[in-house]
Amino acid sequence: GENVEQHPSTLSVQEGDSAVIKCTYSDSASNYFPWYKQELGKRPQLIIDIRSNVGEKKDQRIAVTLNKTAKHFSLHITETQPEDSAVYFCAEGGGSNYKLTFGKGTLLTVNP
């Protein structure tokens, strides 16, 4: 996977609203799609991931959907809270590729 487009670059929502971040990729052989959350001044941490044999995965308020045909995947956060404010990165890799390629990140701000 050599190219990952992530949108939007910034997202501001009110507490309790939903937030959606989308990524598109180019390598059809990619089979692993993680999402990382990076709070200010801290390390990136995995929040959810999905493999290409699954279309959707959910973990409490966080869900990820994958459309392999269209080569895009999305992060959905419901009932957002101020502590969800951070930069979120999508990434893709796997298949014949040992590395992860990251998107440029989305700065999510949840306003109380």
Partner 1 sequence: DSGVTQTPKHLITATGQRVTLRCSPRSGDLSVYWYQQSLDQGLQFLIQYYNGEERAKGNILERFSAQQFPDLHSELNLSSLELGDSALYFCASSVGKLAGALGEQFFGPGTRLTVL
Chain positions contacting partner 1, by CB under 8 A: 32, 34, 42-46, 49, 89, 91, 93-105
Residue type, 12: S
CB of 38 to partner 1, least distance (A): 9
Indicate the residue among 19 and 47 with the shorter CB distance to partner 1.
47
Indicate the residue among 40 and 112 with the shorter CB distance to partner 1.
40
Output the six-digit token pair for 18: 């939903």
CB of 104 to partner 1, least distance (A): 4
Indicate the residue among 65 and 105 with the shorter CB distance to partner 1.
105
CB of 46 to partner 1, least distance (A): 5
Question: Collapsing DSSP states into helix, strand and coil, what is residue 30?
Answer: coil
Indicate the residue among 96 and 111 with the shorter CB distance to partner 1.
96
Question: Collapsing DSSP states into helix, strand and coil, what is residue 112?
Answer: coil
Smallest CA-to-CA distance from 31 within 100, 110, 95, 97 is with 95
CB of 33 to partner 1, least distance (A): 10
DSSP track, 66-110: EETTTTEEEEEE-S--GGG-EEEEEEEEETTEEEEEE---EEEEE
